[in-house]
Structure 1
Amino acid sequence: MTVTPNDTHPSVASTKRDETRLFVFLIVFLFPILSVALVSGYGFIVWIVQMIFGPPGPA
């Protein structure tokens, strides 16, 4: 069995380009949007809980 060196296939170059585009999408768009959504959601939950039970501190 002979092993041939990896040729640069057009599909390999396309896959690398797709992976790069996906990486940029994740870093530039998805992670910041998810971060803002999670922090905003947590803040909203804390706000609602404080409206129901009152602010934290000694009673």
Structure 2
Amino acid sequence: MQSAPEPTTKREERNVFLFLVVVLVPALAVALVGSYGLAIWISQILLGPPHG
């Protein structure tokens, strides 16, 4: 049988929170903006610049 998992400590919760705030969220933001910029750039290569 499986034993019950140990409860998380305040220190573990703080470490996970700091990882999310300092590493993961900024990395996802950069990846999202970079992907959007790449998509716009490729679409302008294929379709030409926007007409106004």
Which range, TM-score by smaller chain? 0.7 to 0.9
Mapped pair 1:29 → 2:23: yes
2:13 aligned partner, one-letter code: E
Larger RCO (CA within 8 A; separation ≥ 6): 2
1:44 aligned partner, one-letter code: L
Alignment map for 1:8-27 (pairs within 5 Å): 15-27=9-21
**Please, what TM-score do these two structures have when normalized by structure 2?**
0.81
C-alpha displacement at 1:31, in angstroms?
A: 0.4
C-alpha displacement at 1:34, in angstroms?
A: 0.5
C-alpha displacement at 1:15, in angstroms?
A: 1.5
Identity among equivalent positions (%) equals: 49
Rg bigger for which structure? 1
Give unmatched runs, 5+ long, in structure 1: 1-10
Number of equivalences: 47
RMSD: 1.5
**Please, what TM-score do these two structures have when normalized by structure 1?**
0.72
Query: Using the alignment, how far apart are the partners of 2:14 and 2:51 within structure 1?
Result: 49
